[in-house]
Amino acid sequence: MQTAPKAMTAAPLSVPLVLVADADHESRTRRARELQARGFRVTIARTAFETIVKASCHMPDLILVDVSLGATDVRETTELLAMCPATAHIPIIRLTPGRRIPARIAGAPRRAAPRC
């Protein structure tokens, strides 16, 4: 049995934080590990509600949302995050199951999250 990735790594706060929102355990774990291996700090969410809460509390530099959360949940989540002044600036990328993290994101961490 695989263990889940650490919710937060010990990377310095200057390293960008990515919120990975994915209902599928294997996909969520794979994406989080891929980002951590490239030096990003990562926090994970399993549901649309958890995505909104973690985005508001942790203020990530980027949110990756997998459609496994459900089409309606993904749409509502992205709309709510876009309407909230505290989270409206955070780039959100929707991913489909099995899709790899875009190369622009998977590269070395930068001070600010890339906009795709």
pLDDT in tens, 14-33: 899 999 999 999 999 999 99
User: Domains of the chain, with CATH numbers?
Assistant: 17-99 (3.40.50.2300)
Residue found under tokens 């990328």: 93
CA 85 to mean position of chain CA atoms: 19
User: Mean pLDDT per segment of 10 residues, for the chain of length 116 residues?
Assistant: 51 86 92 93 95 96 89 86 93 78 55 40
Tell how far CA 37 is from the center of its chain. 15
Global pTM reads 0.76
